[in-house]
Amino acid sequence: MPSSNREARLLRFGVFEVDLAAGELRKNGARIRLQEQPFQVLTALLQNAGQVVTRDELREKIWPADTFVDFDHSLNTAVNKIRESLGDSASSPRFVETLARRGYRFIAPVDGIAAVAAVSASEQDKGTRAGAPAPHGLDPATSSLDEALHADLHVPIPRRGLVRALFALVQVMYLIFYVSGLARLRGVDRVASSFLPGWRALVIVGAVLVTGAVGIPLRFYLLSAVAFDFRKLGGTFVRLFPFVLALDQLWAIAPFLLLPQIGVGLAFAATAALLYVPFSERTLVRLAYREG
């Protein structure tokens, strides 16, 4: 059992924190109701974050030998209640991972606030006793605690609701692009003909028609997936990404269809921004969903 987690009285992961002294689970400071046994199971997992806690260990710790209950049913119910409180999923876990026939493992980074602060204060006290001055402006109760970081991207974990909303807005933006392009095909033909006369203009019009018709159902699928919080969207988007990238890079030149209205400079600026959008989509999906 990691000493920092074992000794801490306040454990934080993502937007959640567990107050061991008060026996409370909180999300963004708001208390979440969690029954005693699920809370004890969660505490055991947090205090052994990153390590496998076997079913036998949980039985010995929470269900004594003289307790006459259906242990398997009780443990499964407790873990389900934990996942419900954390908004987690067994099929695509962000917090509690199930290891078949072995036990469970808490996979998100966990910070033990009280322990980290105590260690920092102890080290600072040792340095002061040895004659070394304490770092200027250092508050061990606050500066020693790092935010929980995403395991792959190494950035602070944002709120999933905000990430999903941003991803949904990107899909709505592309839907507007597609519908506007298809509704104004004559205008597209006129602008394309002014720069690429002959059959080249027809190629541009055909590309707008085909990619718009294909892109609309794709965006509706991604929009509905994030709206209903489809937990396998991470793996699905990885498989779709090459196609999404090609489609988005093609539509990144759409601002040049408005060249007479916005000018060359603004068209280049808009295109440069749109070239980055598919990579932003991939990052947003990775922040909200695990791959696989």
Question: So what's the pLDDT on residue 194?
Answer: 67
pLDDT at residue 263, rounded to an integer: 79
**Which pLDDT belongs to residue 172?**
93
- As a whole number of angstroms, the distance between CA 238 and CA 282 comes to 8
Kindly tell me the number of DSSP H helices and DSSP E strands found in the chain.
10, 8
Mean pLDDT by 10 residues, the chain (292 residues): 61 89 87 89 90 88 69 87 90 88 89 53 48 44 46 70 91 88 75 70 78 90 91 87 90 76 83 90 86 60
Quote the strand ranges of the chain, DSSP E: 10-13, 16-19, 24-27, 30-32, 52-54, 96-99, 103-106, 111-112
pLDDT score at 104: 93
**pTM for this prediction:** 0.50
User: Tell me, what's the pLDDT at 30?
Assistant: 87
Q: What are phi and psi of 230, to 5 degrees?
A: -65, 110
**CA neighbor of 13 nearest in space, from 73, 122, 93, 126:** 93
CA dist 49 → 13, 77, 111, 178, 237 (Å):
10, 20, 10, 46, 29
What CA–CA distance (Å, rounded) separates 83 from 156? 21
Please, which residues bridge with residue 13 across strands? 16
Cβ contacts of 167 within 8 Å, gap of 6 or more: 222, 226, 281, 284, 285, 288
Neighbours of 221 (CB within 10 A): 15
The predicted structure's pLDDT at residue 255: 80
Both tokens of 3, joined, read 């000493």
Return d(Cα 273, Cα 212) in angstroms, integer: 20
